Amino acid sequence: MTIPNLITILRLLLVPGVVLAMLQARWEWAFAGFVAAGVSDGVDGFIARQFNQQSRLGAYLDPIADKLLLVSVFVVLGLISELPLWLVIAVVSRDALIICAVILSSVMSHPVEMKPLLVSKANTAVQIVLAAVVLGELAFGIQLGPVRPILIFTCGLLTVASAAAYLVAWLRHMNGYGEGSTPGT
């Protein structure tokens, strides 16, 4: 167990606290928890790289912690009408489809190695900024004018583009798998 893995596990444990704070409209706490999770993500990555503490477990745990936090925050913000439901559905569906594709590939003994695509990294960055902006607006009672609508549009566009890019990559990976066999064999 490395220090970065412990930090990531603490970040995982922070998710229920952020969600609870949001559900209780304790926006300052929700915002602080979200920012703390973001800072911890940077810190664990820095420690892992600088002190050669990268691990296979960390390679799985880190993106799980990130996605769990983002999806949880998006779902709650959608349920309380701070984000449009179409966006929340798109974000959650994209992640679910990626997970299903990875599982299906593994079940079919043709595992796919998941490498983050540039569009996916941009999508995640916009999701983080959007969540932080909404939580910040709620925590500090401010409105940032057109910032939120622009981020919502950009996030929706990047979510669709990222899903399409992963689908194309997965189809290319799976192309030809099992040729010559019939379904069910």
> According to the per-residue pLDDT averaged within each range, which of 53-62, 75-84, 94-103 is highest?
75-84
The hierarchical CATH code for the domain 3-174 is 1.20.120.1760
**In whole angstroms, how far apart are CA 1 and each of 4, 8, 26, 46, 61?**
8, 11, 34, 16, 12
Query: Domain residues of the chain, as ranges?
Result: 3-174
| Residue pLDDT, tens place only, 7-51 | 999 999 999 999 999 999 999 999 999 999 999 999 999 999 999
Q: Is the pLDDT of residue 185 over 70?
A: no
**In whole angstroms, how far apart are CA 147 and each of 42, 62, 86, 94, 160?**
25, 29, 18, 24, 20
Angle at which helices 3-23 and 27-50 pack, to 10 degrees? 170
* C-alpha closest to that of 128 among 83, 67, 87, 85: 67
